Structure 1
Amino acid sequence: MQRVTYVSAGLLALALLTACSAKEPAPEGIAMAGGARGPAVSFSPQDKTKDVPTDQPVVVSATSGKLRSVRVAGSKSAPLEGELSADGTRWRSLGTARPGTEYTVTAVSVDAAGKQTTTTSTFATVKGKETFDIETITPNKEYTGLTVGVGMPIMIAFDKPIKDRVSVERNLIVRSSKPVEGAWHWFDDQHVDFRPQKYWPAHTRVRVEARLAGVRGGPGMYGKRDVTLNFKIGRSQITKGSTDEHVLIVRRDGKKIRTMPMSAGKGGVWKYYTTSGIHLAMSREPVTVMTSPGIGPGQPGYYQLTVYNTVRISNSGEYVHSAPWSVGSQGSANVSHGCVNISPDNARWFIKNTLIGDPIIITGSPRKLEPTNGWGHWQENWKQWLKWSSLKAGPTIALS
């Protein structure tokens, strides 16, 4: 999704660089094009402008003749990329300039007779006091691998609070090989996540382009760098389980491939309920040590267990895992401390066949999964999700 808002060039004063006769001196602010009559070229920002916002586009127009080339070179950065209109009369920069940088704009134009003229203009961007950066972006190779499930959100954490959410969000670009409707969602000033309206189509390639270098994140604060992430959506696998029916059913690409008896949270005085809702597989752990939350050794209800072949589904300690001690209850009763118990054989199969981001949907429990509990993004309906987006939802950009 991309939403880019530009300042209209018509709102800016344009310095016309054109030729004047010897009898008629050039007015202030107008330059001679090589000392002879040539195509008239205008610049925005105008020549010698200071404190230009980093997100203001550079526009070069040929008011007569055509532009052959335009180069915008920065004193402290790489040249700005741009594109020329089909008729060759207008060039506009793409991306964002760097703060505290002086830029020189060099335009090569040609008139109807084929005469070539070079004109230049300079401007300086506003100075920044500090920078912000992406602290983490998920999915990533180290944490999840680069092939993920159809429910996988894109999650970005910043190292500093973002005040100008619109400026940042419109520079977070999502491309995909299969188009999806999607939107970003701010959980707080340092966390913004993206998800489609519906699950990703299976086998979709996705690229995230965080074009944040020079982007305003707040008063005097600008993005430090650009970040790009590529990942793939795997096959569609959705697991559904019922705490009333005590069974997990795994469907891959719409076909049932495994049925597993389960035992969920037993509730009771300690309220050991498995949460109902759309969970996502968050991690796959061969060994996990589980300890009773808020209950210390020697206190009633305390436990500490070493558990094998676990798939985490929330931040509140819920897993789908091997539980040889409850096999007799699996399929008929809920006896766990809140996790989903399955047999050792089923647990070995499940951890091997689950991708991070696979939906795992649990129903029947009186306790609901909170949207902020782990990756509970799908707990919010689309209207709720959009409530915390700074821009309108839209389709992802095509990825070739």
Structure 2
Amino acid sequence: MRRVLTLIAGPALVIGLVAGCGGGNEATSGSSGPMSIAVTPAADARSVGAGATVKVTGSNGRLTEVRVTDGKGDQLDGKYAPDRTAWSSTVPVKVGTRYTVHAWGEGADGAPAEKVTRFATTEVKASDTLEIASVQPANGAKVGIGHPLMVTFNQPVSDRKIVQKALQVRTTPPVEGAWYWIDDVTVDYRPEKFWPAGTTVTLAAKLQDVKVGADVLGGANRTSRFTVDRAQIITVDVDQHTLTVERDGKPLKTYDVTTGKKGWETRTGTKIVMDKERNKKWTDEAIDAPEDYEYKSKYALRITNSGEFLHDAPWNKGNIGEANTSHGCIGLLPEAAEWLYRNIVVGDPVVVVGSSKPFDDLINRVADWTVPWEKWKAGNTDQA
């Protein structure tokens, strides 16, 4: 069906092109004759790359309508220049898709103008896409106030700025936060201080078809959400051989502990409970210890990748509360370890004080809270 346009008559327009927009066949500002419409990408182009912008420009007139649709009839979003001499798409084109561009306009002489072009985008192999491999906390989880938002990708990220821009975070209530790259495949998001209790954190990863590196496109979009539980902090004092639990700002429990001996010191710094395990076995081979031993704990709470745990240590009962004799773990009496296991959630902070050995290795998860806020907030997108 032919489209019929009804336009309000007005004085003749003499309009030049917006700088930097459009392709060929433009007329010079102030030229006479019928309106000309130009489209980029060029008509019948077959290898348009990801991230390309569709541009439509009109010379010697104004655009009245622009529609860019794919084979399913879905329309590409875009916006007009204030004087309607140009239109540009505001989202990237999809890979492996054929598009139709249909533009209508009114010339300075009042005559209607119309143009239809088509183009196709390149196909991209799955191996060339940057996908999110994991998001922690898991979608729907309830975690402690120290758990950062952690995103891991399936391959090294070459353009951190583009990828980081596509990772949008919303918190309820609003809490200021920032991203920081742990390594070339992992980026974390946290606030200046621990999350306020009850905060909801939502990630909207809008990566699909975004050009994130040379010949690399973003994969599927992803949404994930977690909720912050009550405010609970565990503090371990190496010198005093004590562990204190504070909930919602009030002391709740205090237990005796033993921590790492000389050469195996439990590291000072803020960690989080990463995982909860039952019936954990400890052997000298696991950490290459000089002594021969094999023990078993009923309750164990992991706080580093390198093997620091909170756990019951009944074999070390005589030293708990008196001396530091472990290989880096925080040992407790069985009843204390059981209470912690049942009352701690993943993400609860564990703050160790009094040790001469610092905890500052970001790869030895999770050491995010050891980075000063100003450094974290400034980011490290230029350090890839």
Which TM-score band applies after superposition, normalised by the shorter structure?
0.7 to 0.9
Structure 2 match to 1:316: 306
Structure 2: segments with no counterpart, 5+ residues: 1-17
Partner of 2:280: 288
Larger Rg computed on CA atoms: 2
Does residue 256 in structure 1 map to residue 248 in structure 2?
Answer: no
Superimposed CA distance per residue, residues 272-328 of structure 1 (whole angstroms, 9 cap, x where no aligned partner): 2111110011001122222235666xx841322221211100011111112223344
Which of 29, 50, 72 is the equivalent residue of 2:68?
Answer: 72
Kept in 1, the 8 Å contact 2:22–2:56? The answer is no
TM-score, scaled to structure 2: 0.78
Distance change >3 Å, CA 67–CA 382, structure 1 → 2: farther
User: Quick one: which of 273, 278, 282 aligns to 2:270?
Assistant: 278
Matched to 1:259, the amino acid is: T
1:355-374 to 2 correspondence within 5 Å?
355-369=345-359, 370-374=361-365
Match of 1:39 in 2: none
2:82 matches 1:103:
no
Aligned pair count reads: 356
- Hey, what's the Cα distance between the residues in 1 that align with 2:381 and 2:129? 21
Partner of 2:381, secondary structure, is: coil
Q: State how 1:59-208 maps to structure 2 within 5 Å.
A: 71-75=67-71, 79=74, 82=77, 93-106=89-102, 120-125=116-121, 128=124, 130-140=128-138, 146-208=141-203
Q: Which residue of 2 aligns with 1:241?
A: 236
The CA deviation at 1:263 is 1.4
DSSP-derived class of the 2:169 partner: strand
Secondary structure at 1:170's aligned position in 2?
A: helix
Give the conservation status (yes or no) of the 8 Å contact 1:278–1:359: yes
Q: Distance in 2 between matches of 1:91 and 1:206?
A: 36
Corresponding residue of 2:315: 325
Q: What is the aligned partner in structure 1 of residue 376 from structure 2?
A: 385
Match of 1:351 in 2: 341
Residue 11 of structure 1, aligned match among 14, 20, 27: 20
Listed as ranges, the gaps of 5+ residues in structure 1 are: 1-8, 32-41, 392-400
Following superposition, the deviation at residue 116 of structure 1 comes to 10
The 8 Å contact of residues 13 and 46 in structure 1, kept in 2 or not, is answered as no
Separation of aligned partners in 2, 1:109 and 1:232: 51
1:296-311 mapped onto 2 (5 Å cutoff): 300-311=290-301
Partner Cα separation in structure 2 for residue 260 and residue 384 of structure 1 = 35
Which deviates the most, 59-68 or 304-313?
59-68
**AA at the equivalent of 1:137:** V
Q: Could you tell me how far 1:199 is from its partner in structure 2?
A: 1.7
- Relative to 1, partners in 2 of residues 1:389 and 1:79: Cα closer, same or farther, differing over 3 Å? farther
Kindly indicate whether the alpha-carbon contact (under 8 Å) linking 1:295 and 1:302 is maintained by their aligned counterparts in 2. Answer: no
2:21 alignment partner AA: L
Per-residue CA distance 1:115-134 (angstroms, 9 max, x = gap):
99976454444664622212
Per the normalisation by structure 1, the TM-score is: 0.75
* Residue 83 to residue 240, structure 1, CA distance change in 2 (3 Å): farther
In the aligned structure 2, how far is the partner of 1:281 from the partner of 1:88? 58
Q: What is the alpha-carbon distance in structure 2 between the residues aligned to residue 124 and residue 86 of structure 1? A: 25
Change (3 A) 1:91 1:278: farther
Q: Distance in 2 between matches of 1:59 and 1:232?
A: 42
Q: Given the superposition, is the C-alpha separation of residues 248 and 331 from structure 1 closer, same or farther in structure 2, using an over 3 Å criterion?
A: same
Moved more, 380-389 or 195-204: 380-389
| Cα distance in 2 for residues equivalent to 1:295 and 1:187 | 25
Q: Which moves more between the two structures, 355-364 or 299-308?
A: 299-308
Q: 2:26–2:58: 8 Å Cα contact kept in structure 1?
A: no
AA in 1 matched with 2:216 = M
Write the distance in 2 (CA, Å) between the matches of 1:116 and 1:201.
59
Measure the CA separation in 2 of the matches of 1:237 and 1:80. Answer: 49
The corresponding residue for 2:13 is none
Compare relative contact order (CA 8 Å, sep 6+) and give the higher one, 1 or 2. Answer: 1
Instruction: Answer yes or no: is 1:375 the counterpart of 2:366.
Output: yes
State the SS of the aligned residue for 2:146. Answer: coil
Identity %: 33
